[in-house]
Amino acid sequence: MITVYGIPNCDTVKKARAWLTDQGVEHHFHDFKKQGVPEVELDRWLAAVGWETVINRKGTTWRQLDETVRAGVSDAASARAVALANPSVIKRPVVQWTDGITVGFDAAAWQARL
């Protein structure tokens, strides 16, 4: 089954979940706020797509981090630590498909996966 990871009030997550529902795609939602970030999955995402993709450096949470914290994110290990401490810094949604991982919502790319 497809798992969508994110935060329920995120507009992009809302769009992604609605799109999956509209396509009739069964999926499970994992709420970072209530369930936390699964460390094993985070490691998998970082390995699959790289920390630069997983960490949303354009978002509000990133901008609100202390400058020294932002400057310290330079590799997967430092990105992992920041993501675990601040789950909202993870670009959303992260989707675990049967054949891989995507970060962000792209209807055309998702349609090609179905």
**Residues 6 or more apart whose Cβ sits within 8 Å of residue 40:** none
What pLDDT digit, counting tens, does each position of 32-84 carry?
A: 989 999 999 999 999 999 999 999 999 999 999 999 999 999 999 999 999 99
Count of C-beta atoms within a 10 Å radius of residue 41: 15
What pLDDT, on the 0 to 100 scale, is given for residue 65? 97
Domains and CATH numbers, the chain: 2-113 (3.40.30.10)
Active site residue 10: yes
The residue annotated as part of the active site, out of 10, 79, 83, 101, is: 10
Which pLDDT band, with edges at 50, 70 and 90, does 89 fall under?
A: very high
Place of tokens 């998702």: 110
What pLDDT digit, counting tens, does each position of 11-44 carry?
A: 999 999 999 999 999 999 999 989 999 999 999 9
**Residues 6 or more apart whose Cβ sits within 8 Å of residue 8:** 14, 29, 31, 33
